Structure 1
Amino acid sequence: MKAIKLLLLTIVVASISFSCSKERTDTPIQGLNPTAYHQELNINYGPDADQKFDLYLPKNRNTSTKVLILVHGGGWTGGDKVDMNGFRDIIRQDLSDVAIVNINYRLANSNRNPYPMQIDDITSVINHLKENQDYYVISDDYGFIGVSAGAHLSLLWSYAFDTGENVKMVCSIVGPTNFTDPAYLNSTDPNIRALMDLYGVDASTEFLEEVSPYHRVTSNAPPTILFYGGQDPLIPTTQGTAMSARLQQLGVTHEFSLYENTGHGWLGVELLDTWTKLKGFTQTHL
């Protein structure tokens, strides 16, 4: 139950970050010991203050050690990597041989659009990991776990920007998938309209398709696991059901869970079900 509560904090609000980590802002020295556990906070991967990630490396790792990348939500304009610390903790407990990268990315505002900026940030993180692969003693096999806007970014990068085919699995928890969905285009809800406007007021259909995982996915997509709430006020149910149907059509390995009576986050038996399925999916495909 303790692990479930930690995960709940991630999905709904945020978790408390570790206090026993050191902060690194410069180039690491050589010689990490792969037999020892290692963690670092706020590793720079670009010049912007938001371009930082936290790194957790398991003990007794080797060049086959898989990497899970956590991507927070916040409507592309807010949120922080600390929001994913619940996932960090339960992964360390239940998937203790996996390396964890918990990222921040540049947040959108009136002067900078989320796309392609945030996709570029994920690319920069991946490039950093590859360039330092020998130093960290990890593989270049990656998995993504994203929540809400972070789930959208995780799917989009995995489907359209993973040119090296390094992503072995991707998880979307309440992530937008298709901005051409009539449930979005025809919505009068001010909260949904505000989210849509981030991707351009009166944006063209072509552009909305470009930023939609539903339209960018191919038969080569990595195994995908999807979780959605039937009463979510921000993410129409069709964002999950249509994405699942598209993956089925393309023959992509996937799992889909819809919790009919939950919203933009859940607890209790649904939360336990989410982690049980996600853990098993990760163990199988990452």
Structure 2
Amino acid sequence: MNYFNMKAIKTTLLIVFISLGIYSCTDDNSGPSDPQDQMPLEFRQELNVSYGTDSDQVFDIYLPANRTLATKVMILVHGGGWTSGDKSDMDPFKDIMLQDLPDIAIVNINYRLADENNQPYPMQIDDITSVVNLLKANQNDYVISDDFAFLGTSAGAHLSMLWSYAFDTDNNVKMVASVVGPTNFTDPAYLENDDPILQELIDTFGIDTSIEYLEEISPYHQVTAASPPTILFYGGQDPLIPTSQGLDMETQLANLGVTHQFTLYPNAGHGWIGLELIDTWTKLKAFTETHLED
């Protein structure tokens, strides 16, 4: 189940974009050129690129025209409670970025979904590592840099933060964005909950409920002072992600001195539409332009 209302994002923002008249034509003959042949590169996309042997280990890549080896890369990670969802759920973000952030390469990933025989951790973290390694190995072919950003929703936001904080050994991640992502599985709101839906989400990670293990899978406990700039969005009425998940993460980032932004929509749930969604995109776009495009 994809808990974040991606269809609402696409519909609302498409209406806003049309009303603002932001669609524009670009000159294919201008801009940076291919370092190999000095000819401007055209827009290029490849769908369902395989990065492993499982059918879920695929991604879509969208490479901007006039790109160079300095072109930054945004990796999109879908939600779905670690057990469901698909990269197509992130198409609204992909479509908006293609229009509004046209100089960034976009990689929209699938990953292996958890089930009773396969826990999400470390399986899904390993998949993100495989994606990053493949992008690095094909950097010259794609004509991209090794500067990455992550944007995840719900479970995908958790994976994005966790990988960026604990597994980015080469410091390639320049920013990470979390939309309603779980951050801390040692939060009393989870550990002491009596909500079967919340408990089902936690049980996805298996029977090991030791504090040590829960800290290992929690971005809140893995973030350091050297972690990349982070932007957070949460809903005050979210039935799946307690408000403390966002508030405590914001406090942790502030205490560590990590560059960050935090937005809590008091009346929103596990997703939102309308003016709140427009606000989310406005902030996310500005944050990306500051920390990824520079």
User: How far apart are 1:8 and its partner, in Å?
Assistant: 6.9
Q: TM-score normalised to the size of structure 1?
A: 0.89
Aligned to 1:139: 145
Question: Structure 2: which amino acid aligns with 1:140?
Answer: D
Aligned counterpart for 2:10 among listed residues 5, 29, 44: 5
Aligned to 1:232: 238
Aligned to 2:214: 208
CA–CA distance in 1 between the matches of 2:260 and 2:81?
A: 25
CA-atom RMSD in angstroms? 1.8
Matched, 1:111 2:117: yes
CA–CA distance in 2 between the matches of 1:195 and 1:179?
A: 10
Aligned to 2:56: 50
Aligned to 1:189: 195
CA–CA distance in 2 between the matches of 1:145 and 1:67?
A: 11
- Preserved CA contact (<8 Å) 2:13 2:278: no
Matched, 1:241 2:247: yes
Aligned counterpart for 1:37 among listed residues 14, 38, 43: 43
User: For structure 2, which runs of at least 5 residues remain unmatched after alignment?
Assistant: 1-6, 15-36
CA–CA distance in 2 between the matches of 1:84 and 1:240?
A: 21
Question: Structure 1: which amino acid aligns with 2:166?
Answer: A
- Preserved CA contact (<8 Å) 1:3 1:90: no
Aligned counterpart for 1:163 among listed residues 166, 169, 172: 169
Aligned to 1:179: 185
CA–CA distance in 2 between the matches of 1:211 and 1:4?
A: 29
Q: Secondary structure at the match of 1:159?
A: helix
CA–CA distance in 1 between the matches of 2:88 and 2:186?
A: 31
Task: Give CA deviations for 1:37-60 in whole Å, capped at 9, x if unaligned.
Answer: 000110000000000000000000
Q: Which moved more, 1:50-59 or 1:191-200?
A: 191-200
CA–CA distance in 2 between the matches of 1:5 and 1:149?
A: 20
CA–CA distance in 2 between the matches of 1:7 and 1:177?
A: 27
User: How far apart are 1:139 and its partner, in Å?
Assistant: 0.4
Question: Structure 2: which amino acid aligns with 1:5?
Answer: K
Q: Secondary structure at the match of 1:109?
A: coil
Once the two structures are superposed, the pairs formed by residues 32-111 of structure 1 within 5 Å of their partners are: 35-111=41-117
Aligned counterpart for 1:151 among listed residues 138, 150, 157: 157
Q: TM-score normalised to the size of structure 2?
A: 0.87
Aligned to 1:18: none
CA–CA distance in 2 between the matches of 1:225 and 1:34?
A: 34
Aligned counterpart for 1:198 among listed residues 197, 204, 213: 204
Q: Secondary structure at the match of 1:126?
A: helix
- Preserved CA contact (<8 Å) 1:34 1:62: no
Aligned counterpart for 1:278 among listed residues 276, 284, 287: 284
The change in CA–CA distance for 1:122 and 1:143 in structure 2 (over 3 A counts) is same
CA–CA distance in 1 between the matches of 2:100 and 2:245?
A: 29
The change in CA–CA distance for 1:242 and 1:212 in structure 2 (over 3 A counts) is same
The change in CA–CA distance for 1:140 and 1:46 in structure 2 (over 3 A counts) is same
Aligned to 1:17: none
Aligned to 1:19: none
Task: Give CA deviations for 1:189-229 in whole Å, capped at 9, x if unaligned.
Answer: 11110010111235111000000000000000000000000
Q: Secondary structure at the match of 2:10?
A: helix
Aligned counterpart for 1:268 among listed residues 269, 274, 279: 274
User: How far apart are 1:35 and its partner, in Å?
Assistant: 1.1
User: How far apart are 1:34 and its partner, in Å?
Assistant: 5.8
Aligned to 1:21: none
Once the two structures are superposed, the pairs formed by residues 18-37 of structure 1 within 5 Å of their partners are: 35-37=41-43
Percent of pairs with identical residues: 69
Task: Give CA deviations for 1:16-38 in whole Å, capped at 9, x if unaligned.
Answer: xxxxxxxxxxxxxxx9x861000
- Preserved CA contact (<8 Å) 1:147 1:174: yes
Number of equivalenced pairs: 264
- Preserved CA contact (<8 Å) 1:8 1:267: no
- Preserved CA contact (<8 Å) 1:6 1:90: no
CA–CA distance in 1 between the matches of 2:188 and 2:62?
A: 41
